[in-house]
Amino acid sequence: MDARLQEIIDKINHKLASHTYGNQPTELYEPIRYILTLGGKRLRPLLTVLAYQMYQGDDTCDDIIVPAMAVEVFHNFTLMHDDIMDEAPLRRGKPTVHEKWNSNIAILSGDVMMVQAYDLLLGVPAKRLPEVMRAFNRCAAEVCEGQQWDMNFERRDVVTVEEYIDMIRQKTAVLLGFSLQLGGVLAGASPEDYQHLYNFGVNIGISFQLKDDLLDVYADQAKFGKQVGGDIIANKKTFLLIRALENASPQQRAALDDWLNRITFEKEVKVEAVRKIYDELNIKGLTQEKMTDYFNTGMQHLQQVGVDDSRKEMLRHFAEELMARDK
């Protein structure tokens, strides 16, 4: 990773680790410190800082880092609650909060994280506060809507590609868009500019989630930090499964339906069998093609932001790194 990007991430991590979220009862606050020190890419607060620095200069990280922290705290709140709903055992290779403590503690700790996110945003300049809060509330509601659609899809036999893309736009991508919008608004960007930044983030975010879907099936387990094939095991209706169901031959469809309907199975056997069908249908290639379409649309929005191209280079480079990752 670029040394400047790593320096910003190190500052974000230091602030997240040193911030006081609360002390008592210990069971309420220790899970917050735990999840925020598990690691992670910190891409959302990093995007806020990079958007801000496009207008205010490279030495202004300290000016924007607290609002950027709010985005990361909110993101981890959603992860804590999502892990409960998904019954996920691991997060970044470590036990999830509800596994390490219990679901009730994870719910309450997550609630406090949401409150803390608001508290961190209250420090923005007064003239920007209403706009920031409205945008944050709109984003937060969409993230919850996306999670509900994701759960609804688990009970539906048929989900279209368009429905799935809109779900991941809400659940994942709008927070990347808000992260960039926040940096632009606080830096004094024009409404046209921070709308392009938002659209850049949303399109990159959709591409980012499609990459995650792909890695869930094809990543190296030693690098991934989560169980490879977890989406297949859970019958999650990802882009890969939806396209496979659409394109399958009668024989392939019968095999997929069989695996989707089995109650007992060996996890590794199921993952290997479904992955084999994906390979036969070139689902990996179709997913990469869709990723590229959204990535290119995002880059077109970045190109329209009204600053010199040299000021966009860090965002452009970071987005390219996201798409090239293997974990």
- Per-residue pLDDT reduced to its tens digit, 189-230: 999 999 999 999 999 999 999 999 999 999 876 666 566 788
Q: 169-173: list long-range contacts, CB under 8 Å, 24+ apart.
A: 169/202, 169/205, 169/206, 170/142, 170/143, 170/145, 170/146, 171/143, 171/146, 171/147, 171/209, 172/146, 172/205, 172/206, 172/208, 172/209, 173/201, 173/202, 173/203, 173/204, 173/205, 173/206, 173/208, 173/209
User: What is residue 216's predicted lDDT score, i.e. its pLDDT?
Assistant: 92
Identify the domain containing residue 157 by its residue range: 3-324
**Domain containing residue 125: CATH number:** 1.10.600.10
Q: How many domains does the chain have?
A: 1
How far is Cα 45 from Cα 31, in angstroms, rounded to an integer? 20
User: What is residue 112's predicted lDDT score, i.e. its pLDDT?
Assistant: 97
User: What is residue 48's predicted lDDT score, i.e. its pLDDT?
Assistant: 97
pTM of the shown model: 0.92
User: What is residue 88's predicted lDDT score, i.e. its pLDDT?
Assistant: 84
